[in-house]
Structure 1
């Protein structure tokens, strides 16, 4: 699976246009761009892109490395766009965690291949976690700790073994991040972690919390998967 949405932080309009054109040709959705750290942080928190491309050298008091430090705190994935290889920049970069570097000038092929490789490595390392936003904070949650997800209008509750999070995304959106070997949809409003199921009775699953309904259309699939989990 490749990154679906990308945000660009670059202060050269021509380079932004070039990147957007190249990415859209490859099927990516560019959800926005900014030429400063302040604007970027605000929009990234609102738009929740899968991946951020950051030019290291930006005009203003803060540059791309300053932005990267903030993204590291939120555990958000990013790649650097750079033509800078001076010792001071390299030393600063050693303190942060980019997925990689796209060296300027770049070709459409190198842009695509760098993004695909970086995203593949990122997902491989983070496939057992989901990232969600709740009450102004970004959380990285181990899927093993999730009991179930429950729809709530256009929002979704994520219940873990220790707390619950109300997430401003639909159940369908959140379920796309789940490991389908461990999770199953039992009802149009629920996705359940089968590893936490303690009992089954009629049309309900029992976890450590409330009973979870099983719809008639899902029952045979749920029961089959429980036998093999």
Structure 2
């Protein structure tokens, strides 16, 4: 399993430390933590973690279920990690869509197995593939692995992190196969995977170390999409 970037929302520093130690031992990366909903939302938008662990009882006027409802609207994956199992809390939890519900106290093995199972199920439901014809062969490509597409006359280049494919179809034709929640047109010759954008400049954006042009007519929509992810 690839290393997951995990964000922790928990208002007890000792528990945060315990969770972080367990996650690091299991090979995960902890990108940050917060003890209240306002801070969590702000940092999650900036850090874009793969997965969020949420305690239900938090500092402030809002609790973990309020945060979960916000994450549901943004379609961000999360797991509840809490000691609250009373009927009222469970009824409120039913309004949300977590990947899992881990009850404290937990063991390191239990934490790892719950995260792995929840993430596996999440990826199984959200993985889409497209079929590319290139070099006389059919290739089944995980859509998430595509960095960007670039027009080349009546052909199209499809770039992944490991390989480039020259496809005998136009960029317009290929873009019609893409999931529009993930990909966006940044220029008349480019479609880009939003999940791989590292930064946006005045007239270009960067995917890893690859600069991609962004036209003025598309920039506002790109920024809006990035903010909503």
Is TM (by shorter chain) over 0.5?
Answer: yes
TM-score by length of 1: 0.61
- Count of residues paired in the alignment: 156
Residue 116 of structure 1: CA displacement? Answer: 0.6
TM-score by length of 2: 0.61
Secondary structure, in 3 states, of the residue corresponding to 1:45? helix
Distance 2:119 2:80 in 1: 13
> Is the 2:36–2:60 Cα contact (8 Å) retained in structure 1?
yes
Instruction: Give the equivalent residue in structure 1 for 2:74.
Output: 74
Secondary structure, in 3 states, of the residue corresponding to 1:24? helix
Unaligned runs of 5+ in 2: 130-141, 151-158, 160-173, 187-191, 199-205, 213-229
Q: Encode CA deviations 1:191-228: one digit per residue, 9 max, x unaligned.
A: xxxxxxxxxxxxxxxxxxxxxxxxxxxxxxxxxxxxxx
Q: Would you identify which runs of 4 or more consecutive aligned residues in structure 1 move more than 2 Å?
A: 146-151, 159-163, 165-173
Distance 1:80 1:8 in 2: 10
Distance 1:147 1:4 in 2: 19
Instruction: Give the equivalent residue in structure 2 for 1:118.
Output: 118
Unaligned runs of 5+ in 1: 130-141, 152-158, 174-187, 191-229
Secondary structure, in 3 states, of the residue corresponding to 1:30? strand
Q: Encode CA deviations 1:58-103: one digit per residue, 9 max, x unaligned.
A: 1211000000000001100000011111111111111110000111
Distance 1:40 1:76 in 2: 13
Residue 3 of structure 1: CA displacement? Answer: 4.9
Instruction: Give the equivalent residue in structure 2 for 1:28.
Output: 28
CA RMSD of superposed structures (Å) = 2.9
